[in-house]
Amino acid sequence: MERSEILEGLRRRPVVSVLIVGAGINGIGVFRDLALNGVDVLLVDRGDFCSGASAASSHMAHGGIRYLENGEFRLVREAVQERNRLIENAPHVVKPLPTIIPIFKFWSGLLNAPLKFFNLLDRPAERGAFVIKVGLMLYDAFTSGQGTVPPHKFEGRLKSLAKYPRLNPHIRYTATYYDGQILSPERLAVELVLDGEAEGAHARALNYVSLSGVRDGQVTLRDELTGSTHTVTPRLIVNAAGPWIDPVNASLGLSHRYVGGTKGSHLVLQHPQLRAAIGQNEFFFENNDGRIVLIFPFYDKVIIGSSDIPIENADDARCTAEEVDYFIGLVARVFPDIHITPEHIVFRFSGVRPLPYSKAKTAGQISRDHVIHTDTLGNIPIYSLVGGKWTTYRAFAAQVTDRALAALGLPRKADTKSLPVGGGRDYPWTGYAQIDFIKKVADETGLENFRPKKLFDRYGTRAADVARFLCAGPDEPLNSIPDWTRREVRFLVEREKAVRLDDLLLRRSTLAWLGGVTRPVAQEFANLMGDFLGWSAEQRRAELEYALDLLRDRHGLNS
Ligand SMILES: Cc1cc2nc3c(=O)[nH]c(=O)nc-3n(C[C@H](O)[C@H](O)[C@H](O)COP(=O)(O)OP(=O)(O)OC[C@H]3O[C@@H](n4cnc5c(N)ncnc54)[C@H](O)[C@@H]3O)c2cc1C
């Protein structure tokens, strides 16, 4: 359904079984699960889908080996299992990622876990080979027999340096284990929304619609594009507003402190030397101050992250100059002869982890597990979804859905454990099968092979739908970026709910992330969107300036 149809439908019949506030990965996960189970569900977000914390993650589908030290065995077990499910159900976006830990010490870090247990730990000591070995053995044990990713291995100094010659020569070992990399969390999220809506007219999702208040059991929703308001009467509310859970609850008349967020920032670097030094591997290590650092490949770029800094207002999260200096300095610990300057940065991003409010001594010790808090508004239950990780969204959503189905008196009809997502459906797993798939799309549509290949890389098996769409009318490459065509942009607007220019540049594509947005590119996208959505010249100008301002302010774009 189109946006206007959904809004008109709500005006005519303002009753929904479940209203989900917040379309980050947790709200979206619940939306898809409820939709699959036939529940009349409305998902709203004050911005675009996946534009909050879920757009700021380190892109890892991981168990969180570090959480073992906090005694969070349940969480790690669940997370490694969910990591495997993500790789299996969304293979077009989530890829196995070899992760290398450079190790400088042997026994160090043994006391971290007991000190943490007795709440005596101010700052964890650097983890040595012994602690890391035990952690990785447990990590493997949680998924033994599944075979989705290979088990870990240890290698000595000489072998490690032969493989990674630019690594710090003072290392004593490297440990290699596997996690998953979510190449485009934003695409995965929007595909989950589309899958949910594909279940039928009972499942509706709206970006740019916020919850603004409540009166007599009726919730007021505001269309952020037009300013118009709508009231709906839900039987149940899911507050999935991530770092904004407390303000959303306040709009519903509840005063709780459920969330105490920490800010995390990352840089995307254009640095061919560093990119060559890491190969297809993530490097995962501790800086001297005990903070965890990630350096990993992102297409032909490198991402470095992240910080973990308490923050009061999630809207203020920006990657600061101090963080940039910190990130640049820390690469030297692992790759001492690789020099990085601010000129290598093509994109930066920052977001707030919606962690449970805690009095822990350091941010690293706050639990990364998820919890559902239940309140009521009159007789309407409100579930606040606190914490969680991208990796565990499906499991968290299943728990919320079970609780919602029970409250609504409905049975569970289907579950999402083995349900493929979007372009992960009927995925050709081997190289040969992929070549066959691409050739079949080219034969069927008459597109030259390179285009279906590009589409496959971007959309997985949805490439077949996109290719058919490209051929259904006159099409031509864009002037500013011939990698894209007019009808591909149109597809994203008509079929993927992109309504603002930055939706296209930041979330339906990876253009901005890879430093590909210049003024001419943004201008051409704005004009095309304007053609498809009927924008006036003034609206096109305004969208262009808004998107460029946002890219400058939040992502350090220079143009
Ligand atoms: C720096 C960082 C690194 C991370 N790295 C990883 C990682 O590598 N792997 C991993 O598994 N997890 C990681 N995480 C954790 C993970 O990203 C988050 O736990 C998860 O994305 C939270 O999703 P959410 O849906 O709860 O919140 P969000 O994604 O923030 O969604 C909440 C939504 O609510 C909306 N909203 C707010 N107010 C309103 C309102 N009044 N009306 C309507 N909508 C509203 C917001 O616009 C937002 O889109 C990381 C998080 C951060 C910040």
pLDDT digits (tens, 9 = 90+) for 68-99: 767 778 888 899 999 999 999 999 999 999 99
Residue 422 Rama label (left phi>0; alpha psi -120 to 50; beta): left
58 Cβ below 6 A of ligand 1: yes
Separation of CA 54 and ligand 1 centre (Å): 4
Q: Which ligand 1 atom sits nearest the alpha carbon of residue 351?
A: 53
Strands 229-239 and 15-21: parallel
C-alpha–C-alpha distance, residues 265 and 413, integer Å: 40
Q: How confident is the model at residue 386 (pLDDT cuts 50, 70, 90)?
A: very high
Confidence of residue 409 (pLDDT cuts 50, 70, 90): very high
Q: Is the CB of 63 under 6 A from ligand 1?
A: no
Answer whether 51 contacts ligand 1 (Cβ < 6 A): yes
Dist CA 471 CA 529 (whole Å)? 19
- Residues 512-553 have pLDDT tens digits of 999 999 999 999 999 999 999 999 999 999 999 999 999 999
Q: Is 79 in the pocket of ligand 1 (CB under 6 A)?
A: no
Among 19, 31, 58, say which to mutate for ligand 1: greatest number of ligand atoms within 8 Å of CB.
58
* pLDDT number for residue 130: 74
318: buried, middle or exposed (CB in 10 Å: 19+, 13-18, 0-12)?
Answer: middle
The reply to whether ligand 1 has any atom less than 6 angstroms from the CB of 22 is yes
Phi and psi at 556, nearest 5°, equal: 70, 20
**pLDDT category of residue 6 using cuts at 50, 70 and 90:** very high
d(CA 176, CA 101) in angstroms, rounded, equals 6
Torsions phi, psi for 404 (to 5 deg): -70, -40
Please write the tens of the pLDDT for every residue from 137-194: 888 887 776 777 888 899 999 999 999 999 999 998 899 999 999 999 999 999 999 9
Cβ–ligand 1 distance for 21 under 6 Å, the answer yes
Tally Cβ neighbours within 10 Å of residue 8: 12
Non-local CB neighbours of 526 within 8 Å, separated by 6+ positions: 501, 540, 543, 544, 547
Ligand 1 within 6 A of 352 CB?
yes
For residue 192 and ligand 1, the question of a CB distance below 6 A is answered with: no
- pLDDT tens for residues 331-379? 988 999 999 999 999 999 999 999 998 777 666 677 778 999 999 999 9
DSSP 316: G
Query: 22 CA to middle of ligand 1, Å?
Result: 9
Is the link from the previous residue into 108 a cis peptide, with omega within 30 of 0?
Answer: no
The finding on whether 49 has its CB within 6 A of some atom of ligand 1 is no
Beta strand extents in 162-242 (DSSP E only): 173-182, 203-206, 209-215, 218-223, 229-239
116: pLDDT strictly greater than 60: no
Ligand 1 pocket, 351 CB below 6 A?
A: yes
What per-residue confidence (pLDDT) applies to 108?
Answer: 64
Indicate whether residue 52 lines ligand 1 (CB < 6 A): yes
Stretch 265-280: mean pLDDT, rounded?
97
- 354 Cα: distance to centroid of ligand 1 (angstroms): 7
Q: Which of 140, 161, 159, 158 is nearest to 149 (CA)?
A: 140
Centre of ligand 1 to C-alpha 392, Å, is 12
Residues 6+ apart with CB under 8 A from 320: 265
Q: Is 240 in the pocket of ligand 1 (CB under 6 A)?
A: yes
Percent over 70 (pLDDT), the chain: 94
pLDDT at residue 449 in the model: 83
Closest CA to 77 of 27, 8, 130, 142: 142
Q: Which atom of ligand 1 is nearest to the CA of 52?
A: 30
Average pLDDT, the chain: 92
102 in Cβ contact with 168 (< 8 Å): yes
Confidence check: pLDDT of 263 > 80: yes
> Which residue's CA is minimally distant from atom 25 of ligand 1?
24
Q: Which atom of ligand 1 is nearest to the CA of 266?
A: 1
User: pTM for this one?
Assistant: 0.95
Residue whose CA lies nearest to ligand 1 atom number 19? 389
Whether the predicted pLDDT of 106 surpasses 90? no
Q: What is the pLDDT of residue 27?
A: 98
| Rounded distance from Cα 352 to ligand 1 centre (Å) | 7
Q: In angstroms, what is the span from residue 69 Cα to ligand 1's centroid? A: 24
- Residue 43 Cβ contacting ligand 1 at under 6 Å: no
d(CA 557, CA 20): 33
Does 185 contact ligand 1 (Cβ within 6 A)? no
